[in-house]
Amino acid sequence: MADLGEQLERYDANNRRRALRGVLAILVGTPVLAFGAFSLLIVDPGRAGASMFIVGIMLGGGLGAVIMGTILAVQSITRHGEHFVLHEHGLVHAWADRTTVVPWTDVADVTDIGRGTLLAKAFGGDVGCQIKLTDGRRVTINSYTDGAPLLIHRVLEATAAD
């Protein structure tokens, strides 16, 4: 492992919150999807307009919630113990048996990927950044990381200085 200098801070991911939001999305999305599918059967197929639009919203919204919920639930299991460790000269991102060492000199780009929408906040995308490394790998920080805004600020400061 590259010498990253002294360890400054550790930021743990909140997988419990990730799992809870995933399960809630599945629990909300499943009946909406089922009701949308049922509505598709009872609405006159030759009828266009608002009724079909609402059915489409139910199908799309329900399916989207189930897919996002499943992704979050799987991530909460597979990313057990996820954390970021900030060092003087880099960052370490680790979970389960995977570790990515990010010396500041290997950072090609840091992009803010946070979105200020209600939907993004519901699925953990309201705060986030993606760190692109010179070898093409990427490390993503999102709002499931406790203290993510501070960590992102520290990463931006460190990479701007190098």
Domain residue ranges in the chain: 7-13+82-161, 15-78
pLDDT tens, 80-139?
A: 999 999 999 999 999 988 999 999 999 999 998 888 888 888 787 888 899 999 999 999
* pLDDT in the model for residue 1: 55
CATH topology assigned to domain 7-13+82-161 = PH-domain like (2.30.29)
Residues 6+ apart with CB under 8 A from 162: 104, 105, 107
What's the CA gap between 65 and 26, in Å, rounded?
A: 6
Please tell me the least confidently modeled range out of 13-17, 27-31, 60-64, 122-126. 122-126
Q: State the pLDDT confidence band at 47, using cuts at 50, 70 and 90.
A: low
Please state, as a whole number, how many other Cβ atoms lie within 10 Å of the Cβ of residue 79.
Answer: 17
* pLDDT in the model for residue 51: 77
What's the CA gap between 25 and 34, in Å, rounded?
A: 14
Beta bridge partners of 142: 128
Structure tokens at 145: 């990381």
